[in-house]
Chain A
Amino acid sequence: MHEAAIVAGLMKILERQAALHGVSRIGRVNLKVGRLKAVEPQALVACFEIFAEGGVAEGAELCVDHLPVRGRCGACGCDFEVKGYRFRCPRCGGGDVAVTGGEELYIESFEAAEAAEASEGG
C-alpha cells in the first residue's frame, strides 16, 4: 500500500496550498497519475478518505486522471500509445522506445468547496 505514502504527501500539499489561498474547505482535488507508476486510483481514493478526515479536505472528491503509457520509437520516430506494457514500435517493430507519457504523479489543481458546489449545481 504505497498509496498511503503518496496520499500522505498529497495531504501536506493540500494543507499548505489551502492556507496559501485562504481556502477553508476543499471540495475537489484533481490528480494526474500515469499508468507506469503502479498506483491504483481506487486505493488512492480509499486512503484519501481516511487521511482527509478532520482536515481541510474532509469530504472532498478526489478525481484521478489515469493517463496512458506513451512512447516514441528511437528508430522511426513514431509516437504511440503503449498498450499492454508492450514497448515495441507498432510501425517498425523497434524496441528502442523512450517513454513520453505514463510517469505522471502530481496534483494538477484543487477547488474550494463552494466553487466545486457551484460548478456542479444548476
Chain B
Amino acid sequence: MCGTCGCGHDHEHDHHHEHRDPAIAVLEPLLGENDREAAHNRAHFDAHGVLAVNLMSSPGSGKTSLLEATIVALAAKGWRIAVVVGDLETENDAARIRSHGVPAVQITTGMACHLDAMMVHRALHDIDLAAIDLLFIENVGNLVCPASFDLGQHADVVLLSVTEGDDKPAKYPVMFRAADHVLVTKADLLPHIAEFRPERAARAIADLDAATPVSLVSAKSGEGLDGWLDWLAGLRAAHRTGKPA
C-alpha cells in the first residue's frame, strides 16, 4: 500500500486525488434510548416529589424481606410507598408487598436479566405518583447487568447477605461502586457464619468508594433498620429541598 496516503496503490505523490478519513464519526451513546427514557421517568418522579430508590443484589439476598420490614416501619411513620418489582417470572414478590397494603407492580422480564427504563416507565402507568412519597424499584436479582441501566432513580442501594461471602464487593466492583448505600443483610445469621467478617466486606467497599455508607441489618430481628430508615429520611429531605415546592 502507498505509505503516504494509504490509498492502496504504489505511486508517486505528484498527482491529485482525494483523501478522506474513511470513518464516519457518530459519537452516540449506545444506551441513549434508555437514558432518555430514564430522564423522562426522573422528571415524572420530581414533578410529583417522589423519591425513587433502586434496590440491587444477587438473587436470594433478601431484597423483598428488607422491603417488607422497611415499608411496615415507614408506613407507621406516615410515608406513602409503592413498589415496582422485577423478576424473570412469577408475581410472588409483588404479592408479598401487597399483603402489607402497599401497591406493587410486578414486571416479569422473561429472559431479560435486568430492568430498563422503558419497563419501569410502563409500570409507572399503574402507579399514582401523586399518592406516594417513595417508590422502591426492586431490580432483578443479578450483580452484573442492572448496574448498566439508568431507570430514573435518585439512589442505588445494593444488598449483600452474610451468606454470600465478604469478598463479593471485590468480585463485582462495578455494582458495588454504583451503590449509594450498601446493606449487609441477614445479620441475624452472622453468629453461624464465621467466614463472613463485616469489617472485611466494609474494607472491600471502601476500596471502591470510601464515602459509601455500609449498614449491617436484619429484616428478621430488626437490627440496624433504624440507621437505614434514617438514611432514607435524610435522602427524602434532601430531595425535597433540592427542588421548588
Contacts and interface: CB of A to CB of B under 8 A. Distances in A.
Nearest to B142: A2
Contacts of B113: 1-2
B34 interface: yes
Cβ-closest 8 pairs across A and B: A95-B210, A122-B1, A115-B22, A85-B173, A2-B145, A109-B23, A38-B174, A121-B8
Interface string B142-162: 001101110000000000000
B63 interface: no
Contact of B145 (A1, A30, A110): A1
Interface string A15-44: 001000101000010110000111100000
Contacts of B24: 17, 21, 23, 109-112
A105 B30 contact: yes
Q: Is the interface of A mostly helix, strand, loop or mixed?
A: mixed
B114 interface: yes
Contact of B26 (A9, A95, A105, A110): A110
Contacts of A23: 24
Nearest to B25: A109
A107 interface: yes
A31 B147 contact: no
A93 to B, nearest CB: 10
B23 A10 contact: no
Nearest to A29: B26
Interface of A: 1-2, 5-6, 9-10, 12-13, 17, 21, 23, 28, 30-31, 36-39, 85-88, 95-97, 105-112, 115-116, 118-119, 121-122
A108 B22 contact: no
A44 to B, nearest CB: 9
Measured as residues with beta carbon below 8 angstroms from the partner, the interface class of chain B is: 35 or more
29 contacts: A1-B145, A2-B149, A5-B112, A6-B148, A12-B33, A17-B28, A21-B24, A23-B24, A36-B177, A38-B148, A39-B148, A85-B174, A85-B208, A86-B207, A87-B177, A87-B207, A88-B207, A88-B210, A95-B209, A106-B28, A106-B30, A107-B30, A110-B24, A110-B26, A111-B22, A111-B24, A112-B22, A112-B24, A116-B22
Interface string B54-85: 00000000000000000000000000000000
A106 B29 CA distance: 4
B242 interface: no
